[in-house]
Structure 1
Amino acid sequence: MNNIQFKLLLLAIGLPFFLNAQESNEQLARKAADPTALIWQLQIEDYWKIKSNDGQKNANNLRLRAVIPFNKTKYYPEHLLRITTNWQIQYSGQQNLSNTEIFDLLIPKRYNWGAYSLGPIIQLPTHAPYDETQSILAFGIAVGISINTPKIEKWQLDILIRYLDSFTNDANRISSLKIQPSLTYHINNGYYLETEPEISLDLYKQDNYIPINIRFGRAFSLRSLKINAYIEPEYSLVDSNNKNTQWGLRFGWRFILDK
């Protein structure tokens, strides 16, 4: 872990404990945990890959994501435009900018129990010199369900399923199915526990990865700025190629602005 990572980790862990609520942190936490909430977000997340399953140590992934909300119009439902890119430091020490993913999440209708969503995905290549998979254009679709109702009190449940394919027949083909269930328990005053593992199934190469994780976080207000800060250790249960991350640690900040 480098000096910058260490400082971000201290901020993610320490600052939320010393802040008092300026509004309902409970409501803010529920909104922050809802993937269909119409809120602006700038997300910064660092994933320290402590050790891989084949014994390599200390890789890193810095993820930047912007979430832009759009209200319902006569011709288009509510939707969230999500733009994500990552700066990667490989176990070998080589660095590159990953593919950029653009995801438009449509929310056709809301119900008293929550909402369902779906939308198109496009992956734009970066032509990274150290990773041939980062030079592939791919398209896909995602569907999701978000259950967020007072009837289940402190709990929230979400699931997002994404499929991405490059429609090529070479060795670097992308044919990826990612299943991301999310279960959140709201403790009090914006504090929460959450598990949100991303199960990755490669339908072309039969390369499967199933992790488990637990996130401890807090949503809070710092003057007019609304923040969701968290720390999340992760461990791999299944790694079919024995090269993915075995132990990892995420810590992140999500800056929130209501639309």
Structure 2
Amino acid sequence: MNAVIQKKWGEMNRKQILILFLYFIGSFSIYSQETETQEPPASGTSVKLSQEVMNPTTLAWQLQLEEYAIFKTEGQDGFAQNFRFRGIIPLKEGFLVKVPQLIRVITFLNTAPDGRTGLGDTTLNQFFILSKKDWGQFGAGWNIQIPTRTDDQLGSPQWSLGPAFTVTFTNLGKWQMYWIWENFFSISGNGKYGSSAYAVLQPNLFYTWPNGVYAGIEPEWQIDYKTGKVAIPMDFRVGYIWSGKLKYNAYIEPEVMAYRSDGYPRNSANFGVRLGFRWYIPM
């Protein structure tokens, strides 16, 4: 089955993938404009709406699509890409832990610089919103990474598990800041591939305007716990949030590798651009 999927995706070049992505986004944008014309939004566009949409602890059903086009890869020639699909399921109260929580399912369609295309790894995580204050929210949970990749160049061959934490600061006027810290420790294949232990830290800072435009940073910094090596990319996102029948978020985000330790293996992208589209269904 994996070989069949890889063969079919391999027949699509990067231009076709990008065209399909832009066509989908354009079609959905037209649909959203039509619903806004038929049904004027109650909330409109505002700083409050923008910050609610960007807040990672907001309880809302979400579908997020992101294309990361990688134009320069360390030590390799050729175009690469990661297409991410992320669905978020909110629960006002869990079955076992009686607090609000978010369950996220993340999958990838990846292309290596040599043109090899297929499925990447799948990540499941669950955040429990443990505290909500005037200044923001605090949450904690867990991640599990599942090796669903169809080729070793497109993901890890090991299962990984680890804790995750998030802190969101919302009482900052038009600014918003939040941090996400995720940990991954390999729990399979350690005898064959060696044990793996690393963290992903997201320092996020955004400024929002009343017209729905926002700008800021949302990099994913990585550190290897065993070697101390790091990868520190920097990005700059410009986006637009609006409300119709649903709530929508579209953005563009160039990213450059600011610093990478010699031999760090998990992020070899030196320059790329992310195109993202998200929509939200409030509970």
TM-score when scaled to structure 2?
Answer: 0.81
2:240 corresponds to 1:227 = no
Aligned-pair CA distance for 1:169:
5.1
2:44 to 20, 24, 31: 24
Query: Which amino acid counterpart does residue 256 of structure 1 have in structure 2?
Result: Y
Q: Which stretch of the first structure deviates more once superposed, 234-243 or 117-126?
A: 234-243
Deviations 1:105-149 (A, max 9, x none): 001121011111100111122153334853211110111100012
What secondary structure is seen at the aligned counterpart in 2 of 1:134?
coil
Name whichever structure is richer in strand by fraction: 1
Distance 1:133 1:230, change over 3 A: closer
Cα separation, 2, equivalents of 1:109 and 1:232: 31
- The corresponding residue for 1:188 is 210
| 2:173 equivalent to 1:153 | yes
| Corresponding residue for residue 186 of structure 2 | 166
Matching residue of 1:175: 197
Aligned pairs, how many? 253
Q: Amino acid of the residue matched to residue 273 of structure 2?
A: L
SS of the residue aligned with 1:109?
strand
For 1:57, give the aligned amino acid. Answer: G
TM-score using structure 1 length: 0.88
Shift in Å, 1:57: 2.8
Q: Distance in 2 between matches of 1:128 and 1:73?
A: 34
Residue 69 of structure 2 aligns with which residue?
A: 48
Equivalent residue, structure 1, for 2:58: 37
- Give structure 1 stretches of 5+ with no counterpart: none
Answer whether contact 1:128 1:135 (CA < 8 A) is retained.
no
- Quote the sequence identity (%): 27
Between the aligned partners of 1:42 and 1:207, the Cα distance in structure 2 is: 33
Q: Does residue 1:107 correspond to 2:132, yes or no? A: no
Tell me which residue corresponds to 1:257.
281
In the other structure, the counterpart of 1:96 is: 118
Structure 1 residues 239 and 6, CA gap change in structure 2 (3 angstroms): farther
| Structure 1 residue identity aligned to 2:105 | I
Amino acid across the alignment from 1:153: G
Q: For 1:135, what is the secondary structure of its paired residue? A: coil
Cα shift readout 1:174-196 (whole Å, capped 9, x = no counterpart): 31111101001002311100201
- The one of the two structures with greater contact order (alpha-carbon pairs below 8 A, sep at least 6) is 1
Give the SS at the match of 1:56.
coil
CA–CA distance in structure 2, aligned partners of residues 169 and 147 of structure 1: 42
CA contact (8 A) 2:120 2:154 kept: no
Q: How much has 1:91 moved relative to structure 2?
A: 0.6
- The aligned counterpart of 1:72 is 93
Structure showing the higher helix proportion among its residues: 2
Residues 118 and 149, structure 2, Cα contact 8 Å, conserved in 1: no
Partner residue, 2:269: 245
Q: Which amino acid aligns with 1:49?
A: I
Taking the aligned partners of 1:4 and 1:36, their CA distance within structure 2 comes to 31
Q: Counterpart of 2:222?
A: 200
CA distance in 1 between counterparts of 2:149 and 2:236 reads 34
> What is the CA-CA distance between 1:71 and the residue it aligns to?
0.4
- Residue of structure 2 aligned with 1:5, choices 11, 18, 34: 18
The 1:8–1:188 alpha-carbon spacing in structure 2 relative to 1, beyond 3 Å, is farther
**Distance verdict in 2 for CA 1:249–1:133, change over 3 Å:** closer
1:185-244 CA-to-partner distances (Å, cap 9, x unmatched) read 0023111002011001122355421100010001113x4132110000000011223771
What does residue range 122-137 of structure 1 map to in structure 2 within 5 Å?
A: 122-126=144-148, 128-131=150-153, 134-137=156-159
> CA RMSD for the aligned pairs?
2.5
Amino acid at match of 2:130: P
Aligned partners of 1:213 and 1:234 also within 8 Å: yes
